[in-house]
Structure 1
Amino acid sequence: MKQNISCLLIDDDRDDQEIFKLALQDVNENVLFRAADDGVEGLALLQSEEQFRPNFIFLDLNMPRMTGKDCLAAIRQHPTLSGIPVVIYSTSSDPKDIQDTQALGATDYVVKQYSITSLKEILRRFFN
């Protein structure tokens, strides 16, 4: 079956990557999932593989090398990436982080869930 929905998770926590992948597979097994360990790697992937244009980018805020906010700003400034919905996926529920990322062009803001069931409920909004 041709996979026509894709998702990129940019998150430095490998455990969070694995939990996200498992939850996403349960929600929609046809989603092509890719992960990058930080904003630098995520941008490099998006810029080097022109055939890979995810339907959604989920982006952590607190990462080494490049913060999620800096990565979001770079995505929004890039002509071929700027239209991709970017969902902030962070442990932070700080209203300032939410406001800052909305001002930078984030599509949505999701606080990381401690339960895989809760994460699946959130992912269903995007992938069903």
Structure 2
Amino acid sequence: MSYPNRIFLIDDDEDDGFVFNEALNSLPHQFELLYYQDSEQALARLSDNAFSPPDIMFIDWNMPKLSGNHCLQSIRKLPGYDAVPIIIYSTSNHEQLQAEARQLGASHFLAKPSTLKELVIKLEAILNKQKGNN
């Protein structure tokens, strides 16, 4: 059992990306964060056959260009990505949105917390759960 080390984040909000990285750096493990603000560029990278799938992915739901919904569906169709845990990471926490995300293949739904400390706790719980699944 090992921790997911390669984490892929797609989030158009640079501040949210910074906070996410800070939260990961607060955890007692080493992680490689691959962060993309542009959903189209992220999908192009994931579609590259020379790119190895990450251990876990986080996708913002509300993004310009390609929405989290579209990204999730596209990623699940890529070879090798059917078993990669994908967590929807969104400011919206509506039950209908969560149900839709799970129906489209999301492994989990994480509402963006209001504090760094809260995000650290939630990320640690998700990563510990994934450790047990590896």
Fraction of identical pairs, as percent: 31
Higher RCO (CA < 8 A, seq sep 6+): 2
- Structure 1, unaligned stretches of length 5 or more? none
Q: Taking structure 1 as the reference length, what is the TM-score of the superposition?
A: 0.90
Q: 94-103 vs 51-60, which deviates more?
A: 51-60
SS in 1 for 2:65: coil
The answer for the alignment partner of 1:55 in structure 2 is: 55
RMSD of aligned residue pairs (Cα, Å): 1.7
Unaligned runs of 5+ in 2: 129-134
- Cα distance in 1 between the residues matched to 2:8 and 2:123: 13
* 42-51 or 103-112, which deviates more: 42-51
Aligned to 2:76: 76
The residue identity in structure 1 corresponding to 2:30 is: N
User: Aligned pair count?
Assistant: 126
TM-score by length of 2: 0.87
Per the TM alignment, residue 44 of structure 1 is displaced from its structure 2 partner at its CA by 1.2
Q: Which runs of 4+ in 1 moved over 6 A?
A: none
| 1:27–1:127 CA contact under 8 A, matched in 2 | no
Cα distance in 1 between the residues matched to 2:20 and 2:11: 10
